[in-house]
Amino acid sequence: MAGAPNILWITTDHQRTDALGCYGSTWAHSPNIDALARRGVRCAQATCQSPSCTPSRASMWTGNYVQRLGTAAYGKAPEPTAHTPLISRFREAGYETAHLGKYSYMNNPAALESCFDVIDYGLPPGGSLTPWCVLPDDIHVDDDHFIRAPHNRLVVGGVNPLPEDQTYCAVMTRMATEYLRQPRSRPFFLRWSLDVPHMPFVPIPRFHGTTDRDRVDLSLPTQAELESKPKREIEHIRKFYNFHALTPEQLREARGCFYDLCAELDEAIGRLLQVLAETGADENTIIVINTDHGAMLGEHGVGTIRTFYDPVIQVPLIWSWPGRLPEDTVLSDPVELIDILPTLLDLAGLDVPASIDGRSISSQLLGKASAPDRPTFSEYDTALSPIGGADWVPPEACWHPAVDRRIMIRADGWKLDRNYGTSDYGPDGALYDLRTDPSELVNLFDHPRHRPRQEQLERLTSNWLDQVQV
């Protein structure tokens, strides 16, 4: 183990690429992550395997597509006996392994113990504001201080009412910095997994207003655009989060609060990086920063997740390893989040299992190889989803009783999102030419002129399913 690198893997929740200056945002406040990106490699085309937390995180933990895991539905986790997280291989190799924060993978706690020496979910103190969508009953919702989506209880903007040192972000940051300061004789693998900037978008007062609301350049949909979208999106996705019912002023403030919360998150990450520098561990620590998926903020009439627009599925992915990986470099090749753990194994000099779907991109990060034509996939279905019928969900937005199974393929500058399920939405979907329409405004699905391209993408999807379907 002498000379083996430490590993710090940071995963956020709902974070968009335009919440980071290093991805070209003109309104983001992200000095710490931007500085890390200048010291490493930024992936420009990183695709998450699902636009929802549980399936996306399951795929990252195992290096497998959610189709193979059987976890394409929200709330369903793979059986631990079938797919053990790859982090267990680091523990077997002599690493001290720790998981702090959100897990969202398995139903069996014993599986955690096979992977980690240290486990702490980092739940805030009792009575504190949760990182989740709905405020606890003991937190008074004052409409003068919070923005709620109409017709449900979803808080989509406002100011965190908790003392600054009691917020989820603060609790998680203390936990991680204390861990990093501990003396140890072995290299560490720290998985720091946050639920920020997940809804509710409620930054602490010190960060509220950090983002200039007038500079957030996110479009509002036209009626013609809205009518061209798939039936599932029109009838379900918009109604579920009700972003489309916010006033323009409310939407502007909710968006600003989201980016304010991302700025708060950046400061927290900066504290971890500072501790690494203070302890001297930064010189031999591989740092990976990614999110499980992004979020919609009212574009196309859609709020948050469970859709395949690029703000959701094209996610930040940043690598740093001083003296080993090149600095201030952009990897333009398509990659997937299932590639993270295989790459970490490879960089650490450990064997990468041949049986997983993910692949090491270490050669690409080092500039020694390129794979520009790789198709990437993301998927989601409503099977076994626990969401639907809750008191904060309007009845018309509950999940369809039949399976609505969507698969997205992104290849050669095109994107196809299609229903392969049994719902009465039928084979509807969306097809976008990302080269001429990067904002995904013009749906070309079943358009005669573009039918050959659609059929090509459908064939690629069918071939992929033949390989990964359980």
346-370: per-residue pLDDT in tens?
A: 999 999 999 899 999 999 999 998 8
Chain centroid to Cα 89, Å, comes to 24
Let me know: does 173 contact 196? Beta carbons within 8 Å: no
pLDDT at site 389: 44
Q: Match 């203070």 to its residue by tokens.
A: 278
Q: What secondary structure does DSSP assign to 18-83, as a single string?
A: GGSGGGT-SS---HHHHHHHHTSEEEEEEE-S-SSHHHHHHHHHHTS-HHHHT--BTT----TTT-
Going by C-beta distance under 8 Å and a sequence separation of 6 or more, which residues neighbour residue 353?
Answer: 63, 86, 342
Q: Which residues pair with 297 in a beta bridge?
A: 303
Q: For residue 373, is it within any domain?
A: no
Chain centroid to Cα 323, Å, comes to 28
Q: For residue 410, is it within any domain?
A: no
Question: Which carries the bigger pLDDT value, residue 218 or residue 231?
Answer: 218
Q: For residue 420, is it within any domain?
A: no
Q: For residue 30, is it within any domain?
A: yes
CB atoms within 10 A of CB 24: 10
What CATH number did the domain enclosing 117 receive? Answer: 3.40.720.10
Q: Which residues pair with 191 in a beta bridge?
A: 9, 99
pLDDT band at 54 (very low <50, low <70, confident <90, very high): confident
Q: For residue 431, is it within any domain?
A: no
Which two three-digit tokens encode residue 65? 């597509």
Residues 416 and 45: their CA atoms lie apart, in Å, by: 16
State pTM to two decimals. Answer: 0.92
Mean pLDDT of 95-108: 78
Mean pLDDT of 60-82: 70
**Three-state DSSP class for residue 113:** helix
pLDDT at site 208: 96
The count of structural domains within the chain is 1
pLDDT at site 163: 84
Let me know: does 278 contact 207? Beta carbons within 8 Å: no
Question: Which carries the bigger pLDDT value, residue 214 or residue 141?
Answer: 214
Q: For residue 63, is it within any domain?
A: yes
CB atoms within 10 A of CB 226: 15
249-286: per-residue pLDDT in tens?
A: 999 999 999 999 999 999 999 999 999 999 999 999 99
Inform me whether the pLDDT recorded for 74 exceeds 60.
no
Please state, for a pLDDT cut of 70, what percent of the chain lies above it.
82
How distant, in Å, are the alpha carbons of 30, 91, 148, 226, 305 from that of 249? Answer: 25, 50, 13, 20, 22
pLDDT, mean over the chain: 86
Please state, for a pLDDT cut of 90, what percent of the chain lies above it.
58
Q: For residue 1, is it within any domain?
A: no
Q: Match 């195992």 to its residue by tokens.
A: 62
Mean pLDDT of 48-53: 92
Most confident of 53-57, 275-279, 395-399, 425-429: 275-279
Q: Beta strand 405-411 with 414-419: parallel, antiparallel or unpaired?
A: antiparallel
Q: For residue 457, is it within any domain?
A: no
Give the largest CA-CA distance in the chain: 65
Q: Which of 259, 201, 287, 213 is nearest to 30 (CA)?
A: 259
Name the residue range of residue 225's domain.
6-366
Q: Which amino acid is at 2?
A: A
